[in-house]
Amino acid sequence: MLGGGDKGKDGESIGYACRVSNKLPEDCMKENSTYAPTSILTGWKTADKDVKSGTVGPQSGTAQPATEEAPKSEGEAKPDGEQPAAGDAKPAELKPATPEH
């Protein structure tokens, strides 16, 4: 079970995460009503200082574009003219086994 100090630190962490993800402190408090609003606000304000100082960048909650092309999964279409590598070949269709008598 969490002690009073632990729950306060958890609330601060939640507030910090809310600020970094661009949530309003009021929304964060509503979503996490089991934590003290003061601890959530303390964490939110700490994160706000870090964001404004450039220590932490705010996140918009959307995926960032990849800088490198992700490896292609098996069976994914190849660009025209490109032959599949040996490991990319699909296995032959399997037929159900007939029961042995």
pLDDT digits (tens, 9 = 90+) for 45-57: 999 999 898 888 7
pLDDT digits (tens, 9 = 90+) for 69-81: 555 555 555 555 5
d(CA 77, CA 86): 15
The enclosing H or E element of 96 equals none
**Are 44 and 19 within 8 A, CB to CB?**
yes
* pTM summary value: 0.53
* Tens digit of each residue's pLDDT, the chain (101 residues): 344 568 889 999 999 999 999 999 999 999 999 999 999 999 999 999 998 988 887 764 444 454 555 555 555 555 555 565 555 555 566 666 666 66
What is the token pair recorded at 25?
């402190």
